[in-house]
């Protein structure tokens, strides 16, 4: 899912509500078209996994390890990743589970 206008995550959510079970993402949100000026890249894998976790969907993916991979990829490519979750982490949960 492309994220040029910042709507990739909400589009994934809409797809999920309609029964879509597979989404094309990129760790760190890297990618997109180098020919489209201002293109925002792709939906960050860690953003989708964090949302699915918030919704109670078991992905089997360890978000913390995914964030470690995103940080390494950012270092390797020498770019600041466009992923909000890579920058700020997943949503914090209280001790009560909410």
What is the reported pLDDT for 58?
93
- Tens of pLDDT along 4-48? 888 999 999 999 999 999 999 999 988 876 666 767 789 999 999
Domain ranges (residues) in the chain: 8-88
Q: Is the pLDDT of residue 96 over 60?
A: no
DSSP state of 90: S
- 14 touches 54 (CB < 8 A): no
- 71 touches 78 (CB < 8 A): no
The rounded distance, in Å, linking the Cα atoms of 26 and 83 is 10
Compute CA 95 distance to the chain's CA centroid, rounded to the nearest angstrom.
25
What is the reported pLDDT for 84?
84
What is the reported pLDDT for 92?
63
What is the reported pLDDT for 87?
81
The rounded distance, in Å, linking the Cα atoms of 22 and 47 is 14
Q: Is the pLDDT of residue 97 over 80?
A: no
The rounded distance, in Å, linking the Cα atoms of 23 and 41 is 15
Its pTM stands at 0.83
């Amino acid at each position: 899912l492309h994220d040029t206008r910042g709507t990739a995550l909400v589009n994934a959510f809409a797809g999920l509500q309609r029964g879509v079970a597979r989404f094309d993402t990129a760790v760190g949100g890297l990618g997109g078209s180098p020919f489209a000026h201002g293109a925002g890249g792709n939906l960050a894998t860690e953003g989708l996994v964090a949302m699915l976790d918030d919704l109670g969907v078991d992905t089997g993916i360890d978000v913390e390890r995914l964030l470690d991979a995103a940080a390494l990829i950012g270092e390797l490519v020498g770019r600041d990743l466009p992923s909000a979750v890579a920058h700020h982490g997943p949503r914090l949960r209280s001790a009560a589970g909410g």
